Chains A and B, each alone.
Chain A
Amino acid sequence: MKKIVALALALCMIAILAVASAEPTKLTAWTFIAQHQEYYEGMAEKWNAEHPDEQIEIEVTTLGYDDMHNKMKVALQSDQGAPDACDVELGQFPNILAFNDKLVELDSYIEPLKDDIVTARLEIYSKDGHYYGMPLHVGAMVAYYRVDLLEKAGVDYTTIKTWDDWYEAGLKVKEATGAWMGTVETSTQWVTTLMLGQQGTDWQKDGTVLVNTPEVAKAIDTQKKWLEAGIAEVCPGGQPDTEEGKAYIANNDIASVIMPFWYMSRFTGEIGEVRADQYVIAPCPVFEEGQIRSVGAGGTGTVIYKNGTNADLAARFFTYAKISDEGNRYVWKVLGFDPVNKAVWEDEALMKDEENAFNKYFVGYPVDGLLPIKDEIGAMISNEISPTINNYLGTTLWNEVYVDGVDTAEALEAAQDSIESDLF
């Protein structure tokens, strides 16, 4: 009896192995955003429908932000255990690019699609003229306004053109409703980076750190003024895209949130129904009219591991999933990001589909906040010295100027010195 059972089990094993070997090619991928996992799985289904003789099975693992990037760095350094593909956040990209000899050069995959794509988004993931990362979205900075609060205060959001207008509107909102006009970030710098882009500068140029500049001081003083006037508060959790930040927006009256376009998915996701039909998406204010109204902020570039067993297939699949026309339509439908293929933006049937979850959630159509800034999206540098700069800004500088009330000039001087001494 025992022998028969053993034999049956052995046969089962063989059967399972035989089936397994006939299965589609397995691709592994790491990401740190849960929504991306669903997205890739959806795109894999589409791929399999279109490529019957090249079936794939994608295994996406979602890890924590720091955890995933650190694991990837160690995996590349030791050349062991890296997945076929990995989503790398823009701020971390320079660290991963240090191992570009272990990543697939994506030029030949991207070339046929290049004309339709916002090239600035490809260049942020490049090194020495070669592309290593596949972009997913533009990440244009936009303003999310609470229409109901602004109406109560008698403000028409379309008339907010400059930061001065925004400030005046904030005073009115505070007067009429007691609500906050906005938040000030202390752990990152979406708004401050936008303000720098608007003034035509960046955090660095040609390897020189540009923290102690009049442009940065102007951005800080503008936001200090909001705090002093009591129209904005330091954001809990350090910035709106944290657990605490999202809970704060869901549970408090915040008349405007200045964040990248991808923040839309946080509204429909974690912030949820409580804020449905309240926010509208519009271009950001500027210092002086004529300045660019947006910069590309944040984003993930998918890198392909060169020494993986399926590097070519992985590169082709992720090209299809992330930057093809088909992929870009799906990006909008599922993730609500601003696709890198701008031709898709103008497709009214797609972008203004009434059934789309984002069109349902927001007042008006989100794309109406995006189309006017189509040609005004600046690109900010991210390279190997960026992590050091961002680290100091996010841990020390913002807390000094906004929480401890340190004098702007003094804090900036210390910041410049400290960052330069950290760059050894």
Chain B
Amino acid sequence: MQTTTKTPVSSRNKWKKTAYLLVISVVLLALGLAAMFTLGTSSIRFDTAYDNGADLSPYYFEPLAEGEAYSALQKAWLAIARNRMVPIFAAIVVFVLFVALNRELLYSQNVAPYVFVLPFILTFLVFFLYPLISTIMMSFQDIKGSGTTWIGLKNYENMFANKNFWIAVKNSMRYMVWTCAILIPMPLVLAYLLNSKMMPQKFADIFKTISYMPVLCSVVVAGIIFRMMFSELDGAMMNQIRASFGLAPIAWLKGESTSMFAMVLLCMWRWTGMNILYYMAGLKSIPGDLYEAAEIDGANEFQKFWNVILPLLKPTAIYVLTISIYAGLSMFTESYMVFGNNNSPKNYGLTIVGYLYRYGFEKVDKFGFASAVGLVLLAGAMIITVIQLIATGTIKIGKNKED
């Protein structure tokens, strides 16, 4: 097997001969993308204005004075911006040509890894990094239909001074704590029981299937059903359950703790099955000889659970905890569906994302403010998760120094 880490001299020369194709491709791509991003959401308006020979100054360049014309350079740029897809496609064609002329590049060990990670890098850049950067920029801006102005930290000041923001933070934190407190230990115990030899296999299979089914159910459908169950009418399911104990009906969704209960119950109903699945996978990966060894040492069921299973399930539990923290903090659909809209009595169901939605979409001219809310959520979730990962020992600080 011939492994050459260096490209042979002859092909390297060929590569150099066609390098201008690569440069052309990059330049074309940069032109097209620059036009695309600078226009942003106003692209269609720009196209219409260009085609109608209307004023283009809202998009590029200063307004023209009487009798003045755009310079040749400006005209060229406007034409490129109007036909921005042409350079992008041309760039692709030239790049394909370049690759076709240097086919050995495809077999090069230096290039291949980059080709394979390219799809991920591209999606990361386009759908994550670019939106993140524009969100950071927008959070310092006042964005109106008529234009955008930089306003410094005003959005953040308004947010931290707003009472509803702190209500939203409190609700999201409460929800997150409750869901973690329930959805970490309970599915673990259930998974342990289902995995136990004493459990009839058939029952375990049926239980697993049933408990997993809610995961497949749309949260919208589930939310509407929960809204009906928790309705304040006498005939609603939860009030009938109360009635069977001789208790008077209550307005579930108008109370602070009862409405939180409804949302946590919805979450529990939906995700217990999923978490059982994670733990089952963890349990199956524990080698049988560890149990045997424990049995030989005379350990009882509880000691086996405590000393063998729990420590070995820790990585699974940390994973479940990490996703639960973020899921809890970013909860929105559940509250939106349970209350029928984003406005709940005394904002008991208002979450951070609900607060973001209220300003970003329900009101106009508050897009910058909503961006600031989104960034605060990101920062908060990141801090909590990092603390959690340090506390559970997944991230080890100063480990290397000690070693």
Interface residues of A (CB under 8 A from B): 65-66, 69-70, 73-74, 76-80, 95, 98-99, 101, 186-187, 234, 236-238, 242, 244, 247-248, 251, 307, 387-388, 391, 394-396, 399-400, 403, 418, 421-422, 424
Contacts and interface: CB of A to CB of B under 8 A. Distances in A.
A187 B253 CA distance: 12
Interface stretch (B93-101, B104-112, B202-210, B356-364): B356-364
A400 B346 contact: yes
Contact of A79 (B45, B251, B342): B45
B232 to A, nearest CB: 5
Interface in B1-55: 41-42, 44-45, 48
Contacts of B363: 95, 387-388
B74 interface: no
B346 A396 contact: yes
> In which size bucket is the chain B interface?
20 to 34
A77 B364 contact: yes
B344 interface: yes
Given A77-B364, A244-B232, A99 B145 contact: yes
A179 to B, nearest CB: 15
B195 interface: no
Closest 6 CB pairs of A and B: A98-B364, A78-B41, A424-B158, A70-B361, A399-B345, A395-B343
B52 to A, nearest CB: 12
A395 B344 contact: yes
Nearest to B143: A77
Nearest to B365: A98
Contacts of B41: 77-80
B48 A236 contact: no
21 contacts: A66-B341, A66-B342, A70-B361, A78-B41, A79-B42, A79-B45, A98-B364, A98-B365, A187-B345, A234-B251, A248-B233, A251-B233, A387-B362, A387-B363, A391-B343, A395-B346, A395-B347, A399-B346, A400-B346, A421-B162, A422-B162
A109 B211 CA distance: 60
Interface of B: 41-42, 44-45, 48, 145, 158, 161-164, 231-233, 235, 251, 254, 340-347, 361-365
Nearest to A397: B346
A279 B300 CA distance: 73
Contacts of B346: 395-396, 399-400
Nearest to B41: A78
A184 to B, nearest CB: 13
A403 B162 contact: no
Nearest to A100: B145
Nearest to A235: B232
B233 A70 contact: no
Contacts of A70: 361-362
A418 B163 contact: yes
A236 B345 CA distance: 12
B233 A236 contact: yes
A396 B347 contact: yes
B233 A244 contact: yes
Contacts of A69: 362
A247 to B, nearest CB: 6
Nearest to A69: B362
B400 to A, nearest CB: 48
A80 B41 CA distance: 9
Contacts of B45: 79
A335 to B, nearest CB: 24
A275 B163 CA distance: 44
A187 B343 contact: yes
Nearest to B364: A98
A50 to B, nearest CB: 33
A70 B341 CA distance: 12
A422 B164 contact: yes
A382 to B, nearest CB: 15
A80 B44 contact: yes
Best-surrounded residue of B44, B341, B343 (most CB of chain A within 10 A):
B343
Contacts of A244: 231-233
B295 to A, nearest CB: 58
A96 B216 CA distance: 37
Nearest to A186: B345
Contacts of A399: 254, 345-346
Contacts of B232: 236-237, 244
A354 to B, nearest CB: 36
A74 B361 contact: yes
Given A101-B145, A244-B232, A244-B233, 17 more contacts: A66-B341, A69-B362, A76-B145, A77-B145, A79-B44, A80-B41, A95-B363, A238-B345, A244-B231, A247-B233, A251-B233, A388-B363, A391-B343, A395-B347, A396-B347, A400-B346, A403-B251
